[in-house]
């Protein structure tokens, strides 16, 4: 199919439309259960959306706002982020936001006994971790010697889409892979492929339905397109800054080369003056004053002449 009707789920507006709205809570619940591999006994049944502002003091900074934050019926917190580009210190930010979601559970009594788990989930359109780490990886706190898992309240899941190499629906073996295919290839999915996905995972079909551009109203489509232009503008500004930095580096290199050449030229002239002065019997002290060469340098020249 030459033209896909599906929008990009990696766009933060479409991502929040699918996973951050009351209307689509069922999609989010299925996604979390699938990605976290929750069994029947610990499956999420209900969720409540919470404020996505992690630090009210800097709420104007986009970096202080997560894409989705919710809790289940027993109080476990889930932070879900779509990461479009590798930014410096992302690992620290992930841990900071998990820690904030953990500490924000405290009530006025300060009773920490009932604090519940926090799961930080990042779907990334770039590589975050070394190549040897699989496309989906789970991280928690373990004892170095025994590998025992005793501190159980913080868990991190990273889904690195560039590492997900399956690009045909027929290759997909489980629901997790179908979710990854959705995030990576939604814009390229054909109606025929969608039927195959729907047969195996009806809930992902609902996610596709939310991406159907023909179901979006004009206001949402305009906001979506403006967000794309904004991201492209940010990327262009960054590329221009990199180009400017490279140009400045080249200019500084040329300038340093010129200065170095001047210094080397002066040094050669001073050496010639020193040699001639030594032949004329001028004292080392006077030659040092004239040329700026050290006594040891002049002595070396005298030994060679």
pLDDT in the model for residue 41? 82
pTM of the model: 0.74
Which residues have a Cβ under 8 Å from the Cβ of 279 and sit 6 or more positions away?
305
Q: Model confidence at 56, in pLDDT bands (50, 70, 90)?
A: low
Tally of CA atoms within 13 A in the half-sphere of 6 that contains its CB: 25
CA dihedral 36, 37, 42, 47 (to 10 degrees): 40
Structure tokens at 167: 């690009």
Q: Model confidence at 138, in pLDDT bands (50, 70, 90)?
A: very high
- Give me the phi and psi of 61, to 5 degrees please: -85, 120
- Per-residue pLDDT of 209-247, as tens digits, reads 999 988 888 888 888 888 778 777 777 776 777 677 767
The residue-averaged pLDDT of 7-13 equals 89
Helix (H) / strand (E) element for 48: namely strand 47-49
pLDDT at 175 over 80: yes
């Amino acid at each position: 199919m030459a033209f896909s009707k599906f929008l990009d789920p990696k766009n933060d507006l479409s991502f929040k439309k699918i996973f951050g709205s009351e209307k689509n809570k069922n999609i989010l619940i299925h996604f979390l259960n699938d990605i976290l591999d929750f069994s029947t006994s610990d499956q999420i049944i209900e969720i409540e959306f919470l404020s996505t502002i992690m630090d009210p003091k800097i709420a104007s900074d986009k970096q202080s706002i997560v894409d989705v934050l919710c809790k289940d019926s027993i109080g476990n917190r889930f932070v879900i982020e779509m990461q479009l580009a590798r930014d410096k210190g992302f690992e620290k930010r992930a841990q900071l936001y998990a820690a904030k979601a953990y500490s924000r559970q405290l009530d006025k009594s300060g009773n920490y006994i009932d604090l519940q788990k926090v799961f930080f989930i990042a779907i990334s359109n770039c590589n975050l971790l070394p190549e040897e780490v699989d496309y989906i990886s789970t991280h928690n706190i373990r004892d170095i010697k025994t590998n025992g898992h005793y501190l159980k309240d913080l868990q991190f899941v990273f889904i690195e889409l560039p590492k997900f190499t399956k690009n045909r629906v027929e290759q997909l073996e489980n629901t997790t892979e179908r979710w990854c295919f959705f995030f990576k290839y939604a814009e390229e999915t054909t109606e025929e492929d969608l039927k195959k996905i729907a047969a195996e995972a009806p809930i992902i079909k609902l996610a596709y339905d939310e991406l159907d551009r023909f179901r979006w109203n004009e206001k949402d489509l305009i906001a979506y397109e403006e967000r794309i232009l904004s991201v492209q503008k940010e990327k262009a500004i960054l590329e221009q800054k990199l180009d400017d930095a490279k140009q400045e580096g080249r200019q500084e290199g040329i300038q340093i080369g010129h200065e170095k050449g001047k210094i080397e030229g002066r040094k050669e002239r001073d050496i010639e003056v020193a040699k001639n002065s030594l032949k004329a019997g001028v004292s080392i002290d006077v030659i040092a004053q004239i040329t700026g060469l050290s006594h040891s340098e002049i002595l070396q020249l005298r030994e060679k002449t």
